[in-house]
Structure 1
């Protein structure tokens, strides 16, 4: 007889992103152990309307399924939106926290909402850093758990397409012959350190090094960007954080114009992205410190490692839970350009050693960061509240 649980999430396919992927893989994995009821935002209606209807939908589902023993909310924003659960049910509620959803620097959030989030029965944190931030704010260490995100092991099974170098020339106009390739991907938000790397590290590297960036890149300001300029700087920063900013688009574009050996491909297909990562000699995650903004984990680094590309990452925040120094990558001091340049030169100077380290990193990531491992650890946490 399967125990019954309810999973509520506003981050779910068909939408894409790290949290959407984590939410999907978690629910799919839990479904093999529990009878899982799901209330997920899947884009079939306006998101505000979905949140407004959520309370009535949950009450209806709980009434129809009285054997539900646990409710899981997949991020802190969901925890805030569903605070009414604390009044309508005695069923234990466990919330997953990813980073910014606990550190968001708005005074009202920290002073008024965090104390309410603490009242949920349990917290699952995606990294040690996020756990420390929760406990620092008053969460009970006995009911605050760390469960790292996983990575899709199927990435390791996709064969390398040796034609990708030729494709880069034909499709994107890039000649990588005779080049050492460094790769970075993602949306250019300031904490990712893309413009910092372009400005401070690339000029220190040899001319045979090329940096390839992928991901969305806005080349013109949106109405929202213009609207934000109406607010005082500090308030503008907090609004930007709430909506996934502050972005680094302008600085990245300016630096790209100054660099001969850096190119931004924009959005690429997932198939091309996987092959470009595999072609790269190194994958970098050069995060910098931005007040109020944090990196809760480092999923993109794990994906690169699973493809057999060695990772260099900043030793900061939740990245240190994903990149284990000298196991599946090397951690470097944040915003230290000389240290970054020296390590890159060292790694590229001995390709045989780099190949060995890359393979070691791939094996470590596959062994320690599977989605199944993540699911098993969630089950252990959930069972502790159910039984």
Structure 2
């Protein structure tokens, strides 16, 4: 069985879209290859993990000379492993998610990305991300789009009919007779959460409620406040890289002024599934923030699998997750009147909304399973691995002969 090495710093038990994608990819590839994994599992500090990374990689390569390919699960790993370009002739493939290619940093864009173009291939989670990769000089013939998948078995988890009462008991929110909009995610500006509360909610009927979930830390210590201020003033790119909550304070202020907007804070995965099912509509009201674009939008697919139709800004990588007219509608980013009108129109006809929601679930099941994603990665990997010979590693972990020069089929394509 062909051996590969997967390296990722986004992995369970940490929770998030990239962690889920990484886990499902590694697990799925394990059905086709003998898969060696170096993953950050939250069992030590991440700085320590990165400092030890090089020695761990070289150790595994030395102990497992049959490894034919290395996969790096995001642009951060690509930067951390640039040394591989000089130390091995193994094909190295990088997955790009969005911010890990668009980060607005001079050092990153002008000094690091040109080096990353020398990797053997790039897999992008959306066409938007692929276009950004190609704009930066990557090889068209070895750049591909493979959309993230979703757990198509999510719809098997029963809906808790008593959940509205649980919301009332826990949060004091009465949802009786209400239409429910739901959204979730980190409180960063590109998500458009504070924009939506401020500009769209006042235009909606009184029987429409917005529920939000996710981290919302507005009570920060001095260090956190200072870090946010300094990174925002002197290095917005660092603020993005650190994942600071750039919209948290604005969200909190707007909620206080809005009579029908509520933030539930962090919720468990089980609660998230119930909230996705409880909602009449799932919304992704993203706005354009230069350098901080949305790479995909996995949670939209999860909403679909829980039987909820999606309204999303028709920008960036969202358009690969939400296909207009299939599993959701695209709306113009930043157009509050268009958002309000569409919400009213869709909620007006429950029978039609039920039909749209069922159609969306079927579409996602057919087109976005984790198995589909894994098979597309396998096709790319198989095109880059040796078919006949088994390479050996010298004392410096270099191959003693060049890698297979066979080109991947097509160029800049989605497979």
TM-score normalised per structure 2: 0.91
For the residue of structure 2 that corresponds to 1:44, the secondary structure is: coil
Q: Which residue of 2 aligns with 1:381?
A: 380
The answer for the alignment partner of 1:247 in structure 2 is 246
Q: Residue 213 of structure 1 aligns to a residue in which SS?
A: strand
1:179-194 equivalences under 5 Å are 179-194=178-193
Higher RCO structure (Cα 8 Å, ≥6 apart):
2
1:222–1:363: structure 2 CA closer, same or farther, 3 Å change rule?
A: farther
1:103-146 CA-to-partner distances (Å, cap 9, x unmatched) read 01100110000001100000000000000000001001110010
8 Å Cα contact 2:232/2:239 also seen in 1: no
Q: Shift of the alpha carbon at 1:225?
A: 3.7
Residue 58 to residue 38, structure 1, CA distance change in 2 (3 Å): same
Distance 1:246 1:235, change over 3 A: farther
Q: Which runs of structure 2 are paired with 1:347-362 in the superposition (5 Å)?
A: 347-362=346-361
For structure 1, the 5+ residue unaligned runs are: none
**Given the alignment of the two structures, is residue 226 of structure 1 paired with residue 246 of structure 2, yes or no?**
no
In 2, Cα distance between equivalents of 1:303 and 1:73: 25
Aligned position for 1:9: 8
How far apart are the structure 1 equivalents of 2:19 and 2:272? 19
Whole-Å Cα distance in 2 between the matches of residues 61 and 379 of structure 1?
Answer: 22
What is the CA RMSD across the aligned residues, in angstroms? 1.2
Using the TM superposition, name which of 62-71 and 214-223 deviates more.
214-223
Conserved? CA contact 1:6–1:36, under 8 Å: yes
Aligned pairs, how many? 386
CA distance in 1, matches of 2:208, 2:124: 38
Task: Look up the match of 1:257.
Answer: 256
Larger mean CA deviation between 229-238 and 52-61 belongs to 229-238
2:228–2:239 CA contact under 8 A, matched in 1: no
Deviations 1:340-363 (A, max 9, x none): 000000001000000000000011
Structure 2 equivalent of residue 35 of structure 1 = 34
Q: What CA distance in whole angstroms lies between the structure 1 residues aligned with 2:224 and 2:55?
A: 36
Partner of 1:339: 338
CA apart distance, 1:168? 1.0
Distance change in 2, residues 1:173/1:363 (3 Å):
same
Q: 1:234 Cα shift?
A: 4.9
3-state secondary structure, aligned to 1:153 = coil
| Match runs of 1:37-76 below 5 Å | 37-76=36-75
Separation in 2, partners of 1:92, 1:150: 24
For residues 126 and 309 of structure 2, what CA distance do their matches in structure 1 show?
21
Q: Secondary structure at the match of 2:182?
A: strand
Task: Provide the rounded CA distance (Å) in 2 between the counterparts of 1:229 and 1:249.
Answer: 11
> 2:146 maps to what in 1?
147
SS of the residue 1:231 aligns to:
helix
What does residue range 1-387 of structure 1 map to in structure 2 within 5 Å?
2-228=1-227, 231=230, 233-245=232-244, 247-387=246-386
- SS of the counterpart of 1:295? coil
Q: Deviations over 1:198-224 (max 9, x none)?
A: 000000000010111111111213334
Distance 1:224 1:282 in 2: 38
Q: Is the contact between residue 94 and residue 122 of structure 1 (CA under 8 Å) also seen in structure 2?
A: yes
Shift of 1:381: 0.6
List per-residue Cα deviations over 1:137-177 (Å, max 9, x = no partner). Answer: 10011100100000111211111111111111112211101
User: Structure 1's 232 and 218: CA in aligned 2 closer, same or farther, altered over 3 A?
Assistant: closer
Structure-1 separation of matches of 2:221 and 2:175? 33
Change (3 A) 1:359 1:255: same
Q: In the superposition, relative to structure 1, how do residues 286 and 146 fare at CA in structure 2: closer, same or farther (>3 Å)?
A: same
Contact 1:215 1:268 in 2 (8 A): yes
Segments ≥4 residues shifted beyond 6 Å: none
| 8 Å Cα contact 2:69-2:385 kept in structure 1 | yes
Inter-partner Cα distance in structure 2 for 1:145 and 1:132:
10
- TM-score, with length taken from structure 1: 0.97
User: What is the CA distance between 1:229 and its match in structure 2?
Assistant: 5.8
**Cα distance in 1 between the residues matched to 2:229 and 2:314:** 35
Cα shift readout 1:303-352 (whole Å, capped 9, x = no counterpart)? 10110100000011000000000000001011000110000000010000
Point out where structure 2 has 5 or more consecutive residues left out of the alignment: 387-415
Q: Distance in 2 between matches of 1:273 and 1:369?
A: 20
SS at match of 2:48: helix
Q: Which moved more, 1:188-197 or 1:259-268?
A: 259-268
Comparing 260-269 with 306-315, greater Cα deviation is found at: 260-269
Change (3 A) 1:229 1:327: closer
Indicate how the Cα distance of structure 1 residues 297 and 222 shifts in structure 2: closer, same or farther if over 3 A, else same.
farther
